[in-house]
Chains A and B, each alone.
Chain A
Amino acid sequence: EAGVAQSPRYKIIEKRQSVAFWCNPISGHATLYWYQQILGQGPKLLIQFQNNGVVDDSQLPKDRFSAERLKGVDSTLKIQPAKLEDSAVYLCASSEQGSNTEAFFGQGTRLTVV
């Protein structure tokens, strides 16, 4: 079974530039998450999709971050314009519906804003 795919693995941009990350979840998984993991910290949920609808985006900085999940499958996360404090690893995860289900994670995208 293929896992959660993310690209790119690394990205370096200058502040005020824009950047986009892509995630392909495990086939059949209804739930998709984007987490931000700042160095030395635990992952923080940015946004959670159930199929193509947003379930939780309470911690998404909506003035600069946006995300979409077209057709309930792939998802993109965009930052525009980027700030230095956005430097982090962005993790995508997916799971089947249900509280007890395991969330499977991708390898993440390491973003460095200079």
Chain B
Amino acid sequence: AQTVTQSQPEMSVQEAETVTLSCTYDTSENNYYLFWYKQPPSRQMILVIRQEAYKQQNATENRFSVNFQKAAKSFSLKISDSQLGDTAMYFCAFRAQGAQKLVFGQGTRLTINP
């Protein structure tokens, strides 16, 4: 079974700073997909960024980028020039190829301070 671990329950940074959220996972699969979801107080999960395991290039979406280390089974999220609206819970998630079940980590509560 796959497991996803987020070791930082809470993080807090000042607006405009860069912050990195950690995620590690355990799987015996070779092909899979990794996701970062954002959950603001409204509770609606929003996809931030995704990474295909077969791609060596790290995914980027505007201010959001990932550092994917397949051998280390690590998938961290970097938020550059953080904004107040980035305040939310962030969840790392895993999905094996051929499966559709998303396995989530425990989440990291990120607070951006003015």
Contacts and interface: CB of A to CB of B under 8 A. Distances in A.
Interface of A: 31, 33, 40-45, 48, 50, 55-56, 89, 91, 93, 95, 97-103, 105-108, 110
Interface stretch (B11-19, B41-49, B64-72): B41-49
Contacts of B96: 99
Nearest to B102: A103
B97 A42 contact: no
B37 to A, nearest CB: 8
6 shortest interchain CB distances as A-B pairs: A42-B104, A105-B45, A108-B43, A107-B44, A99-B97, A42-B106
B100 A48 contact: yes
Interface of B: 4, 6, 32-33, 37, 42-47, 50, 52, 91, 95-107
Contacts, number: 64
Given A105-B45, A108-B43, A43 B104 contact: yes
Contact of B106 (A41, A45, A56, A91): A41
Nearest to A45: B101
A33 B102 contact: yes
